Amino acid sequence: MKDLGDMINAVRKFNEQDFDVKKELYSRDASRRVRFNSSHDLFQSQTADWRDTFSVSMLIDPEELPAVCRDETVEFIDQIGKIGDALFELLSEALGLKPDHLKSIECNKGRTLVCHYYPACPEPELAMGVTKHTDNTFLTVLVEDETGGLQVLHDNQWVGVQPIPGGLVANIGDLLQIVSNDKFKSNVHRVVPSRVPRISVIGFFAGRVAPPARLYGPIKELLSEENPPKCKEVLVSEYVARFFKKNSKISPALKIIDSEATDNGRVKNSTVTPRTPCIRLLFHAVSTWTHEMLQLINKRSNL
């Protein structure tokens, strides 16, 4: 892949095919490894999102992918996986843990690639590309075209995230907030539509979802008498079910926790307010953080 634009163009080619071609992949069955649908939570939410979505499990036989975007998708899955692994190492170190800690508890598993296509909207002021939400994962890594529209809630104000060529956006998810015991906070964001089409490609890292299931709770090394657990342990499947059961789609499972722990380490009834803006990664920039991330990728995978 020459640059991130190759994947954006591949998603555009897929979505601009005739519907008769795309309908072969149309499904609302989340267990399907490759699927195409519109406003995926249409029957769970009170609002409909202005977008079509092509979703792919990152553990997949390439032959299952549509030929029109197969090569680019296979390469992008490989690259986004390596970037995610490197980010988890940096996030582990930021928590004062060994670089492989978050990976050792499989936070980097449960990988899904989601490609959103937002059609041109004739009246964008009357629609919403994606309603406000947090991500029900550990981490998401996003690349978008030059259209813009992503907004982050910061200090009760919606702040636009300006697309930068060659850049990625990384969002902390609810599950990373849980295991970090609030040291990291998931951020509330949304997408506003435009009069021109918009494309985004997102790598989701949801943790271990395959049997045997793993309970995720605050990491013991981060706890003390002064810093007791703020959230109870939860299965990924349990958290996701609560996420879509609620209408707000903003950290619903984090709102059932308490400030006081029980004997078995579980807690109940408290509210966490996610408010951390997203982390932007500029691959052409000289920022120390980006430089360190690229060094990790080069060291581990000879990119």
Per-residue pLDDT, 63: 92
Report d(CA 235, CA 232) in Å as an integer: 10
Query: pLDDT digit string (tens) for 77-100?
Result: 999 999 999 999 999 999 999 999
Per-residue pLDDT, 188: 92
Query: pLDDT digit string (tens) for 26-41?
Result: 887 878 889 888 755 4
Q: Sign (positive/negative) of CA torsion 252, 254, 260, 262? A: positive
Per-residue pLDDT, 12: 94
Tell me which of 12 and 29 has the higher pLDDT.
12
In this structure, which amino acid lies at residue 33?
A: R
Query: pLDDT digit string (tens) for 175-202?
Result: 999 999 999 999 999 988 788 888 999 9
Find out whether 221 and 246 touch, Cβ atoms under 8 Å. Answer: no
Query: pLDDT digit string (tens) for 97-122?
Result: 999 999 999 999 999 999 999 888 77
* Domains in the chain with CATH codes: 5-301 (2.60.120.330)
Strand segments, DSSP code E, in the chain are 34-38, 52-57, 111-118, 130-133, 139-144, 150-154, 157-160, 167-172, 189-191, 198-205, 215-216, 234-235, 279-282
Tell me which of 302 and 154 has the higher pLDDT.
154
Whole-model pTM? 0.78
Q: Are strands 215-216 and 167-172 parallel, antiparallel or unpaired?
A: unpaired
| Sheet with 139-144, side-by-side order of all strands | 34-38, 52-57, 111-118, 198-205, 139-144, 167-172, 279-282
Strand segments, DSSP code E, in 69-166 are 111-118, 130-133, 139-144, 150-154, 157-160
| Helix or strand run (H / E) with residue 28 | none
